[in-house]
Amino acid sequence: MTPPETKSRDGGDVPLSHSLANSLAGFVNDLKGLKADLHAKLDTQENRLTMLDQKMMAARVRPALSSEPIEAPHQKAFDAYVRNGDEDALRALDFESKALSSAVASDGGYLVDPATSESIQSVLQSSASLRAISTLVNVDATSYDVLVDRGELGFGWATEAAATSETATPTIERISIPLHELSALPKASQRLLDDAAFDIEAWLAGRIAERFSRAEAAAFISGNGVDKPTGFLSHPQIDEPSWSWGNIGYVPTGVPGALGDADALVNLVYALGAEYRANGTFVMNSKTAGAVRKLKDADGRFLWSDGLAANEPARLLGYSVLVAEDMPDISADSYSIAFGDFAAGYTIAERPDLRILRDPFSANPNVLFYATKRVGGDVSDFAAIKLLKFGVS
Alpha-carbon Rg for the chain, nearest whole angstrom, is 39
In a domain, 324, yes or no: yes
Q: In this predicted structure, what is the pLDDT of residue 100?
A: 37
User: For residue 279, is it within any domain?
Assistant: yes
Q: What pLDDT, in 10s, does the model give residues 134-190?
A: 999 999 888 999 888 776 666 767 777 777 777 767 677 788 999 999 888 888 887
pLDDT in tens, 80-108: 776 667 776 666 665 443 333 344 444 44
Give the integer Cα–Cα distance in Å for 62 and 56.
10
More confidently predicted of 150 and 259: 259
Distance of CA 168 to the CA centre of its chain: 42
Q: Average per-residue pLDDT in the chain?
A: 80
Residue 57, domain member (yes or no): no
Give the helix/strand (H/E) hosting 378: strand 366-379
Which of 40-49, 170-179, 382-391 is predicted most confidently?
382-391
Q: What percent of the chain has pLDDT over 90?
A: 33
List phi, psi (to 5°) of 75.
Answer: -70, -40
Task: Give the residue-averaged pLDDT of 213-221.
Answer: 92
Distances (CA, A) of 45 to 49, 59, 325: 6, 21, 72
**Residues 368, 355: one domain?**
yes
Q: Are residues 86 and 211 in the same domain?
A: yes
Residue 381 has what pLDDT? 92
**Cα separation, 343 vs 349, whole angstroms:** 13
Is residue 80 assigned to a domain? yes
> Could you tell me if 201 and 184 lie in one domain?
yes
Find the mean pLDDT for residues 203-232.
Answer: 89
User: 104 near 91, Cβ under 8 Å?
Assistant: no
- Cα 254-258-263 angle, rounded to 5 deg: 50
Poorest-confidence range of 275-284, 286-295, 360-369? 360-369
In angstroms, the CA 229 to CA 223 distance is: 6
pLDDT the model gives residue 286: 92
Q: What is the CATH number of the domain that holds 243?
A: 3.30.2320
**Does residue 124 or residue 377 have the better pLDDT?**
377
Q: What is the mean pLDDT of residues 17-44?
A: 78
Band of residue 353 on the pLDDT scale cut at 50, 70, 90: confident
Report which secondary-structure segment, H or E, holds 120: helix 114-126
Same domain, 338 and 357: no
> Is the pLDDT reported for residue 218 higher than 90?
yes
CATH code of residue 173: 3.30.2400
Higher pLDDT, 164 or 260: 260
Residue 252: Cβ within 10 Å count: 20
As for how many domains the chain has, the answer is 2
- Residue 209 inside a domain? The answer is yes
For residues 316 and 252, give the distance between their C-alpha atoms in angstroms, rounded to a whole number: 18
Phi, psi dihedrals of residue 200, rounded to the nearest 5°: -65, -35
Mean pLDDT across the stretch 295-313?
81
Model confidence at 118, in pLDDT bands (50, 70, 90)?
low
Ramachandran class of 236: left when φ > 0, alpha when ψ lies in -120 to 50, beta otherwise: beta
237 and 221 in one domain? no
pLDDT at 359: 85
Q: Are 347 and 130 in contact (CB under 8 A)?
A: no
Q: Is the pLDDT of residue 13 over 80?
A: no
Residue 8 and residue 22 in contact, taking contact as beta carbons nearer than 8 Å: no
